[in-house]
Amino acid sequence: MERRPEPELMDDEAQAWAYAQADFSEAHERFVALFTECFPGEPGSGLCLDLGCGAADVLVRFARVHPECRIDGLDGAPAMLALAQRAVDAARLQDRVRLIHGYLPGAELPCRGYDVVISNSLLHHLAAPSVLWETAKGHARPGAALFVMDLSRPDTPARLDELVARHAAGASPLLQRDFRNSLLAAYRPDEVRAQLEDAGLGSCRVSVVSDRHWIAFGRL
Ligand SMILES: C[S@@+](CC[C@H](N)C(=O)[O-])C[C@H]1O[C@@H](n2cnc3c(N)ncnc32)[C@H](O)[C@@H]1O
């Protein structure tokens, strides 16, 4: 199926709230576990950047599993960042987490030498996917770990319907609509491999990890 872009920022308050209330525990726990499989022992006490952190559900789970690391979470949507701040406060992570409002490309980040760059479900929002790879390259130290997970666009409308029915049947109409739109906006693993080649990150690997997700990981 042809890619159908969706708006980049999730700055509608109802949309942000619905997203923050949704149960993404399976996928988000998987994100954290797969990171550990790909990069055992990291990030240690290093500084990590979460691009498109949204309501910080992945960020908080990651911080709990890596108690020594500090994390900067960046997002362009104030509505999401307000929910992220609540999640960080509730988890008592204020001393290790900074939330930064900024639009990519061009966002001001406080560091140019991050040890780890993570991102979940940002890429499919980006009209120019190179923005993610170039931001990671431009703000990480040489040899830093890069770990990205996102959805994969289905091949056929029937497959799209099947995934929405399987994974969002019990969700609100708003969340079902967002999930469908996100699948339609998503990049396929072959497209991600080509993006990484173009960005000079051809040594990074892309693996399919579920019926709807891929991961991309390697050294910057
Ligand atoms: C689907 S959410 C994912 C949030 C979080 N990473 C998670 O997995 O729960 C994508 C987030 O990326 C943000 N975003 C999209 N395009 C962006 C851009 N160009 N600059 C900064 N943030 C962006 C949106 O505002 C939204 O909060």
Quote the pLDDT of residue 15: 86
Backbone angles phi, psi at 71, to 5 degrees: -135, 135
E strand or H helix at 86: helix 78-90
Q: Using the predicted structure, report yes or no on whether residue 28 has a pLDDT greater than 90.
A: yes
Pick the CATH number of 13-219 from 3.40.50.150, 3.40.640.10, 3.30.70.100, 3.40.50.20: 3.40.50.150
User: Model confidence over 119-128: pLDDT tens digits?
Assistant: 999 999 999 9
Reported as a pLDDT band with limits 50, 70 and 90, residue 27 is very high
Quote the pLDDT of residue 10: 85
Q: How many angstroms separate the CA atoms of 130 and 132, rounded? A: 5
Q: How many angstroms separate the CA atoms of 108 and 187, rounded? A: 26
123 ligand 1 Cβ < 6 A: no
Q: How many angstroms separate the CA atoms of 19 and 11, rounded? A: 11
Cβ count near 1 (within 10 Å): 13
User: Model confidence over 132-191: pLDDT tens digits?
Assistant: 999 999 999 999 999 999 999 999 999 999 999 999 998 889 889 999 999 999 999 999
76 ligand 1 Cβ < 6 A: yes
Q: How far is the CA of 123 from the centre of ligand 1 (A)?
A: 8
Reported as a pLDDT band with limits 50, 70 and 90, residue 19 is confident
Q: How many angstroms separate the CA atoms of 118 and 62, rounded? A: 10
Q: Using the predicted structure, report yes or no on whether residue 11 has a pLDDT greater than 90.
A: no
User: Model confidence over 33-85: pLDDT tens digits?
Assistant: 999 999 999 998 999 999 999 999 999 999 999 999 999 999 999 999 999 99
Quote the pLDDT of residue 18: 85
9 ligand 1 Cβ < 6 A: yes
Quote the pLDDT of residue 195: 98
Q: Using the predicted structure, report yes or no on whether residue 204 has a pLDDT greater than 90.
A: yes
- The number of the ligand 1 atom at minimal distance from the alpha carbon of 28 is 8
Closest by alpha carbon to 180, among 197, 193, 162? 162
27 ligand 1 Cβ < 6 A: no
Domain ranges of the chain: 13-219
Asked if 54 and 124 count as a contact pair (C-beta separation under 8 A), the reply is: no
Cα distances (Å, whole numbers) of residue 62 to 30, 39, 99, 110: 11, 13, 15, 20
8 ligand 1 Cβ < 6 A: yes
- CA nearest ligand 1 atom 10, residue: 122
